[in-house]
Structure 1
Amino acid sequence: MSDNKKLKLVLCWHMHQPEYRDLQSGEFKLPWTYLHVIKDYVDMAAHLEAVPQAKAVVNFAPILLEQIEEYARQVNGYLHDQISITDPLLAALVNPSIPADPEERMKLVKDCMRANRERQINRYPTFKRLIEMADWLEHHYDSLTYVNSQFIGDILAWYHLIWMGETIKLSDTRIKRLIEKGSGYTLHDRIEIIEVIAEQLTTIICRYKALARKGQVELSVTPYAHPIMPLLLDLNSTREAMPDAPLPELDAYPGGEERIVWHLDKGVQTFKRLFGFKPKGCWPSEGSVSGPTLKILGDFGFEWAASGGSVLHNSLNLPENDKTLGIHHPFKLQETNVACFFRDDGLSDLIGFEYSKWHADDAVGDLIHHLENIAAHEPGDKVVSIIMDGENAWEYFPANGYYFLSALYERLAGHPNIELTTFSECLQNKAEVKPLAKIVAGSWVYGTFSTWIGDVDKNRGWDMLGDVKWTFDKVISAGRLTEKQIEQAELQLAVCEGSDWFWWFGDYNPGEAVSNFEKQYRLNLANLYRLLGEEPPAYLSMSFTQGSGTPAMGGAMRPGVEFT
């Protein structure tokens, strides 16, 4: 079969973490950036490196790239010059003296329990026993007095070993040896672990840059700090997909379009500095699009964007559009200059939520069967877009998805009727772009903005953000700040505008995650007030949302279609 008759398949992996640093103190409040580097970003690069015929799109949030850079700088600074690391968990790994204070010890123990029980913890019987002891200690707090330093050292070592990517565990002799050792880890052992971590942090961006240079990967970008662009432009766009949604007291986010342009410009600058070229595509934060958003992206020079399949389904139901059109094409909204690809929610969610329970070969076979059906039963040239998080699904798979991803790339790269490609290549090869008269604003999660706005806690978050933005505008217009202070305030505001804080607000999420993100959101807002020379409002000292839910996959992922 000729290449132009093959089913075109784009695998798009979105890598993003919010800003976990307190930008004023420099301390990392949560460790997820470096943990996902050593587990997921490393493995995802290695799988592509192992199958040179495979292709994918990899999207990076610029604020994630900057944190990777900072971690690499700090860890190498520690190894070369004994400079302190500002991530408390990573610093504890190589601290020669284990803290004596029971509360400090318990915090370290609890931090080392944050992992998937079935796939990460229970896989290693020695670590499983340590965690069972930690479970007991949580309910017998007074016994912490009798816990020795070796227990803390071992649990810290093991925690970082279980977070290592499968490709590291299979290839790095140091990690193999330390896993086999099992207990009695010394400071030398723990420093060896951080040496491995330093190598991954230092090389990971270069590895993706090399894959892009070879043409295996198309690298794309997200607005700098991952804001929901349609909501910054117009909070009322919420009601295009949710007509009855309650909205914040805030009528409109002040200066939203100016802020979007700031995030796009800053994001592209960061991307160009690290990768050396301007990206052709943009994955809007959470696939969130609207008519005005696509217009801005096209005017900014992007050739393609992407969103969720439910957004297209909602849009095709409008009388202005042709509802007979299928999802497996790029579309162009009238009066815009950017092609928009839409996620096949069914296939993407199979990988994200179902295939982790299957044998890898069966899962890949099932996916290929679905793709072959699409090729056989849908007329014309087709582009299937599988778009999903590049980091959050794999801890639910055996061996961090190693067997699934290996089989996926090998079998797809060798398939006679399926062509792994990229969004830009599809456009270069003249994939048919269908017309769209009007689009319903929404995201890749359910085709709505319900994950970020529309309930009491999320709306309260928007009102708090609106308050600080009004203060920001007032102080800037008064000319009270120096150029450097304005730059710091703009950066802090960008962090506050990120989507992740709003994702976690709401009682349907796990309590610990809600608490962590809610505290950091209030800290971010308070830091901005102080940078502006203003006293933070008293309400920022009080929690405004609590969680008690148990959503699928811990809440870090959501399906594209809402199940009722």
Structure 2
Amino acid sequence: MASDIKTPVVICWHMHQPSYEDMRTGQFLFPWVYLHTIKDYSDMAAHLEHEPQARAVVNFAPILLEQIETYLVQIERWRHGAGDIGDPLLAALVAEELPETGTPAFLGLMEKSLRANPDRIIKRYPAYARLAELADVYRKKPELQRYISSRFLSDLLVWYHLGWMGESIRRENNCIQSLQEKAYNFSTDDRRALLNVIFDVLSGIGPRYRHLAQIGQVELSVSPYTHAMLPLLLELESAREAMPEIILPAHRVYPGGSEQASWQLQEAKAVFQRFFGIAPAGCWASEGGLSQATLALLNEHGFQWTASGDSVIHNSLNRAREDNPELPDSGNHQPYTFGDSPVSVFFRDDGLSDLIGFTYADWHAKDAVGDLVHHMENIAGQARGASRPVISVIMDGENAWEYYPENGFHFLDELYTVLAHHPKLKLTTYADLVSQPVAAPVHLPHLVAGSWIYGTFSTWIGDPDKNRAWDLLCEAKVHYDRVMGNGNLSAEQKESARKQLAVCEGSDWFWWFGDYNPAQIVSDFEHLYRRHLVNLYEMIGYPAPPSVFHQLSQGSGEPARGGAMRPGHEVDKPV
């Protein structure tokens, strides 16, 4: 069969948001879970549904799935008068009364309703753009604020949610289309109808991806429960493997890290099973963070494959050549195994993935896909001998698309159409490549610990601000261990505390600390990290030390695409 000689291509989308929920109050401090769900996770399913011959791997962080579920529960309880919606923006969308103009509450909701890409979202809709202009007047001329109607905020809230709506929904949903045509003076019924659409999209995410998995279009995989960096939980010193001179936190060991890392995987599998009814074959370890100890742990929990960035395999090949100078360079387009671990490891083509993340947003869709596929054809054509390459494109499923016209609709449609029917390339999944390999994995004695970013852990540790955050976590873990062992907490209290600890272990807090990140986002995530730590101390009945309240990081930079994404290499070059 012709397909038997095609070069396998795996597109792996990683769906991930950290915990924005205050577990003690049920309040969401930021709206990114439900906004990315209605905009991105829904669109990504729709593109696969539209092209039945396309296949992909879709990886979910369990803490994201649980937060989607919490939104559904809160909305349903609100509908029945049994509770409030815990997200201030979503609650404001359907509030009977909005804050008065001139109040801090009014200003806060106004500013939050403008946190959208100005070129691709706000300016796309004339009515939204006019509201943004009026908001600028509101800021600059406070003496005029008293004359601005509350209708302004009501319409702004509607347009914010319309702007964040997925393109597939926008093109097919009659309610969304009628609201866009109405454009202004939205009624309470309009706003509640919009909430109903949001609820329907949120409730459909699990069933839609479960169905795509059942018919074989999608392989679903999982990350550690709260997207924790497993290699660093296991061994902070593993950061030295790729960066021997890195400065580590004062606490050189995360207390009880092995047990906690194992629990992160155990809990991830339980949540995944509950949502999708299957056991995952693969694990995208958070941020592609791997080490030899992490591979052993993944194998212990029954995972058959994992993946990382191509700098990790280059570092590992260079290390292997120190003992075996004649070792050939088998490159990043092959599966590997390392040491005693049987887990197959695949490696991201950073050049191809970063073209999607950072370059193609401003290209015409056909030109962008044509260029990407041309690079893939070159890789396939360079294969020598019996071994065929495996081309891996791995990236976030949400962050790139707000920089594309119409949420990447045309690019993704063209991408799946071309690859699904390509004569020499074949979309497949990692599970299929493990069960029916195109070549035996290349074996190396040791994997050099690192992540998909630069092949190091420098994005999460080593910077003074990041190290202070680790020291706060390590200190909290010491107190947590003492309290958990003294028998003063009930089983239910211990379970809540353990989940709160896991939230504090999430990778995102450490990602954002550092002067090279935008000041507002650093402030947001530092506030959230502190809140989670304080909640942990309250749950274990131990007073939070003063160090928790000292500022960690300030931020002043503006990385590519607003900092939500980073290239895999310091200086990235196309394949």
Normalised-by-shorter TM-score class = over 0.9
Percent of aligned pairs with the same amino acid: 52
Which runs of 5 or more structure 2 residues have no equivalent in the other structure?
none
Distance in 2 (alpha carbons) for counterparts of 1:88 and 1:232 = 34
Aligned partners of 2:458, 2:370: CA distance in 1, in Å? 34
Contact 1:299 1:337 in 2 (8 A): no
What's the TM-score once normalised by structure 1's chain length?
Answer: 0.98
Match of 2:521 in 1: 513
Task: Tell me the equivalent position of 1:130.
Answer: 131
Distance 2:449 2:283 in 1: 17
- Change beyond 3 A, Cα 1:523–1:373: same
Partner of 2:473: 465
Q: Provide the C-alpha distance between the structure 2 equivalents of 1:281 and 1:217, rounded to a whole number of angstroms.
A: 12
Q: Which runs of 5 or more residues in structure 1 are unaligned?
A: none
Spell out, residue by residue over 1:321-367, the C-alpha distance to the aligned partner (whole angstroms, 9 max, x if none).
63511211110012002000000000000001101010000000001
Residue type of the alignment partner of 2:113: C
Q: Distance in 2 between matches of 1:148 and 1:504?
A: 38
1:438 equivalenced with 2:427 (yes/no) = no
| SS of residue paired to 1:442 | coil
Larger CA deviation: 429-438 vs 491-500: 429-438
d(CA) in 2 for partners of 1:120 and 1:494? 35
Cα distance per residue 1:493-527 (max 9 Å; x no partner): 00000000111111111111111110010111111
- Structure 2 residue aligned with 1:336, among 334, 341, 346? 341
**Shift of residue 142, structure 1, vs aligned partner:** 4.4
> Does 1:549 pair with 2:557?
yes
Equivalent residue number for residue 509 of structure 2? 501
Aligned equivalents of 2:309 and 2:183: distance in 1? 44
3-state SS of the aligned residue for 2:8? strand
Report the Cα offset of residue 187 of structure 1.
Answer: 1.2
1:379-458 alignment to 2 at 5 Å?
A: 379=384, 380-432=387-439, 433-458=441-466
Q: Which moved more, 1:40-49 or 1:119-128?
A: 119-128
Q: In 2, distance between residues paired with 1:156 and 1:533?
A: 39
Q: CA RMSD in A?
A: 1.2
Q: How many pairs are equivalent?
A: 564
Residue equivalent to 2:182: 181
Q: Which residue of 1 aligns with 2:67?
A: 67
Instruction: Determine the structure 1 residue equivalent to 2:541.
Output: 533
What corresponds to 2:155 in structure 1? 154
Instruction: State the alpha-carbon separation in 2 of the partners of residues 391 and 15 from structure 1.
Output: 7
Residue matched to 1:86? 86
CA contact (8 A) 1:28 1:87 kept: yes
Q: Which piece of structure 1 moves more, 77-86 or 329-338?
A: 77-86
How much has 1:480 moved relative to structure 2? Answer: 1.7
Structure 1 residue aligned with 2:500: 492
Q: Deviations over 1:517-544 (max 9, x none)?
A: 1001011111111111111112323322
Question: Are residue 359 (structure 1) and residue 364 (structure 2) matched?
Answer: yes
Tell me if structure 2 keeps the 8 A contact 1:230–1:288.
yes
Give, as a single letter, the amino acid of the residue that structure 2 aligns with 1:77.
R
Alpha-carbon distance in 1 for matches of 2:78, 2:238: 48
* 1:171 matched to 2:172: yes
CA distance in 2, matches of 1:272, 1:197: 25
Equivalent position amino acid for 2:380 in 1: A
Query: Where does 1:18-29 land on structure 2 (aligned, <5 Å)?
Result: 18-29=18-29
Q: Give the aligned partner of residue 53 of structure 1.
A: 53
Deviation string for 1:427-446 (max 9, x for gaps)? 11123211121111110111
Q: Distance in 1 between matches of 2:410 and 2:20?
A: 31
| Matching residue of 2:222 | 221
Match of 2:491 among 483, 496, 499: 483
The answer (yes or no) to whether the contact 1:317–1:323 under 8 Å persists in 2 is no
Aligned with 2:307: secondary structure? strand
- For 1:33 and 1:145, the matched residues in 2 are separated by 34
2:212 touches 2:218 (CA, 8 Å); kept in 1?
yes
Shift in Å, 1:76: 2.6
